[in-house]
Amino acid sequence: MENKIKVSKSSSQKKIINKINRVKIIRKEYLEEDKLIHFYDYMKLNKIEETEDTEKADLIISFGGDGTLLIAAKEALKKDIPVMAVNMGTLGYLADISSKDVIQMMEKYKKNQYIVDERTFLKVKYNEKEYYALNDLVISKGGIASQIINVEVYANGTFVNKYRADGIIIATPTGSTAYSLSAGGSIVHPNLRALSITPLSAQSLTARPIIIDGNEVLSFKVFSRDNDTHLNIDGRINFRIKLEDEISAVMSSKKVRIIRRGKSDYYGILREKLRWGESSVK
C-alpha cells in the first residue's frame, strides 16, 4: 500500500497526504540526463531520495515510453505502490504524463489529487516457474526460415482450437492494443477480465481472433517439424520451447496502478493515441 499520513484540518474534515521520501526511477536506454535536470532539482529541494531497492520506495517513476513502463510494472509486483509513467518516447499510450508536467504531477500525487488506471497482469507458468505479463505471451515459430507451427489451445482442459500458423498471441486487455491489435485482434476494454487469442498469419481463413473468459486457465501443446518454436513474455523474456514443456496462462489477481494526468477517458485515449475511428480517406 502507498505510504499515507493524515493531517487534521478540523474535527469534521481530514486531508490525505501521500509521503514521498524515496522513489525508484526507471529510465529508458540512452535517455539524456540533461532532460531530467529540473526533476532532480525538484527531488533535491524536497529531500526525496532515489533508491534502487523497490521495497524501500514510496513511488516508482518511469521515464521513457510504454516499453519502459512494462519494466516499471514488473517492479510494482515487488511492492504495491503506484507507477508514475512519464512519456519520453513516441506514442505514450499508457505513459501519458509529459516531462514538463512531472513536477506538477508529483505535487498532485502528494495531495492525493490524481487518477489511477489499474491494469491486470497475465500469470504465465512455464514448466515449474511463474512469470507475469502486462501485455501478452506469444508462441511463435523461430524465424522467417522456420516451419509453420501447430498450436493446440485448451481452456480448463477443454479443447478450444488448433492453430496452424506462424504463432498465436494471448493478450490481456492492456495488450489488446499492442501486438495483438497489429495482428488483427480486437480491442478489449481494460475493465473486462478477459483474454484474447489472436493467430499470427494462420493458414486457415476461418481462424479468427476470439475473446475468452480470463478466469479460464489456458494450456498449450506446440508442434513443429523443425522444433524451432519460441515462447515470448511481454517481448522481454524468451524461451525455446521443447515438445515436453508445459505452458499455461490465466488472468492474475495482481494489478499495477498507473498514475494518469487527467480524467480517465478510455475511448478518448483510443481516439487520441491510436487514431481509433478516424477515416483512412481524407
pLDDT tens by residue, 113-147: 888 999 999 999 999 999 999 999 999 998 887 88
Pair (98, 58) in one structural domain: yes
> Per mean pLDDT, which range of 29-38, 126-135, 171-180 is the poorest?
29-38
Interval 202-238: pLDDT, tens:
998 889 999 999 999 999 999 998 889 999 999 999 9
The three grid cell numbers given for residue 182, joined into one nine-digit string: 497489429
- Beta bridge pairs of residue 1: none
Q: Which of 94, 113, 132 is the last residue of a domain?
A: 113
Pair (54, 127) in one structural domain: no
What whole-number distance in Å separates Cα of residue 4 and Cα of residue 2? 6
Q: Confirm whether 280 is domain-assigned.
A: no
The long-range contacts involving 207-215, CB below 8 angstroms and separated by at least 24 positions, are 207/161, 207/163, 207/164, 207/165, 209/180, 209/184, 209/185, 210/160, 210/161, 211/186, 212/155, 212/160, 213/155, 214/120, 214/172, 214/250, 214/251, 215/250, 215/251
> Per mean pLDDT, which range of 114-128, 239-253, 264-278 is the poorest?
264-278
Pair (136, 49) in one structural domain: no
Answer whether residue 158 shows pLDDT above 80. Answer: yes
10 pLDDT tier (thresholds 50, 70, 90): very low
12 pLDDT tier (thresholds 50, 70, 90): very low
Domain count, the chain: 2
Q: Confirm whether 196 is domain-assigned.
A: yes
Pair (129, 16) in one structural domain: no
**Sign of the four-CA dihedral 168, 173, 174, 180:** positive
pTM: 0.88
What whole-number distance in Å separates Cα of residue 27 and Cα of residue 145? 35
Answer whether residue 11 shows pLDDT above 50. Answer: no
Pair (139, 63) in one structural domain: no
Pair (95, 146) in one structural domain: no
Contacts of residue 220, defined as CB under 8 A and 6 or more positions apart, other chains included, come to 139, 151, 152, 153, 154, 247, 248
Q: Residue 127 maps to which CATH number?
A: 2.60.200.30
Q: Please tell me the predicted confidence (pLDDT) of residue 262.
A: 67
Pair (83, 161) in one structural domain: no
* % pLDDT > 70, the chain: 91
Residues spanned by the domain of 80: 4-113
| Closest-CA residue to 197 (of 148, 239, 160) | 160
Is 101 a catalytic site residue? no
Answer whether residue 172 shows pLDDT above 90. Answer: yes
Kindly name the residue from 34, 53, 66, 234 that is annotated as catalytic: 66
Pair (127, 177) in one structural domain: yes
Pair (138, 31) in one structural domain: no
Q: Which of 113, 142, 177 is the last residue of a domain?
A: 113
